[in-house]
Amino acid sequence: MAKKSSSAPVLADWQPPAGKSASRFSLSKLDPGAKPWSSGDKEADKIRVDALALELDTLQDLFYADKRYKLLVLLQGTDTSGKDGTVRAVFSRTSPLGVHTVSWKAPSEEERAHDYLWRIHRQMPGSGETMVFNRSHYEDVLVPVVKGWITPEQTGQRLRHINEFERLLAETGTVILKFMLHIGFDEQRERLQERVDDPTKRWKFSLGDLDARKQWADYQNAYDTLLRATSTAHAPWTVVAANSKTHRNLMIATIVHDKLQSLGLRYPPDDPALAGLRIQ
């Protein structure tokens, strides 16, 4: 019997509803400084994250052997929301044999010559694999929308494309976990300033980050639109309260862990020819 998810009682509070009630969802109603998954002890939470990372390695080994599923973990969020940090913390103990990461940048000339989902589909996980996306195809309904490069009609069309694309993946064995890392405006300012002040982090800073920051409200509105339109039964969004890096890691690690446990993973049956075999 699959183990009941320990995060289930509060998870729904952080997932945009599907259907007609989706129109009532707004990021502004969710506190990025909240810590619903926290024990209240930061050091204990860090220890728990490390323990979950070890457990994820064991589960991923079983997931890789089982091969009935593929796992896509999608991390989306504004600049400094902690996508890189999440990958480092949550997947720090997993083997590169089964876990891969893609960090999405602006499309290349070759990628622009195809439809916008072409490059995404090429990076989907294979059987038994986990793929972690740092940013994703949702950039195509964020940046072009805020910059005014596509019309509202084209935006709606892309949102429908994405829902059908993710339905295809889900119906062919891909488990999709989509996380929106939710930080506040003031928290972003502090993190950007830290990058400027720290020589070891300055390489992460771009003046373009300041241009995007000036359009904070526009990006929040674009996120509201995509979260309402693309949180589906087959690929739900989870908004992660991410002002606290420790809480962010704990929340995501817990949800990924619980999902893998719920799948009833098993090793493939033994080859009958191995019965009684003795190696000389």
Q: What is the pLDDT of residues 120-137, one digit of tens each?
A: 999 999 999 999 999 999
Amino acid letter, 192: L
Q: DSSP 3-state helix, strand, coil percentages of the chain (rounded to 5)?
A: 50, 10, 35
Confidence of residue 72 (pLDDT cuts 50, 70, 90): very high
Average pLDDT over residues 163-186: 98
d(CA 56, CA 90): 8
Least confident of 8-12, 120-124, 194-198, 269-273: 8-12
d(CA 264, CA 277): 29
Q: Is the pLDDT score of 8 beyond 50? A: no
Kind of pairing, strands 237-241 and 130-134? unpaired
d(CA 247, CA 46): 9
Residues 6+ apart with CB under 8 A from 248: 82, 85, 86, 181, 240, 241, 242
As its CATH architecture, domain 20-262 has 3-Layer(aba) Sandwich (3.40)
Mean pLDDT for the chain overall? 93
Q: Is the pLDDT score of 7 beyond 70? A: no
Residues 156-173 have pLDDT tens digits of: 999 999 999 999 999 999
Residues 136-153 have pLDDT tens digits of: 999 999 999 999 999 999
Average pLDDT over residues 106-118: 95
d(CA 147, CA 124): 28
pTM score: 0.93
- Per domain, the residue ranges of the chain are 20-262
d(CA 92, CA 256): 14
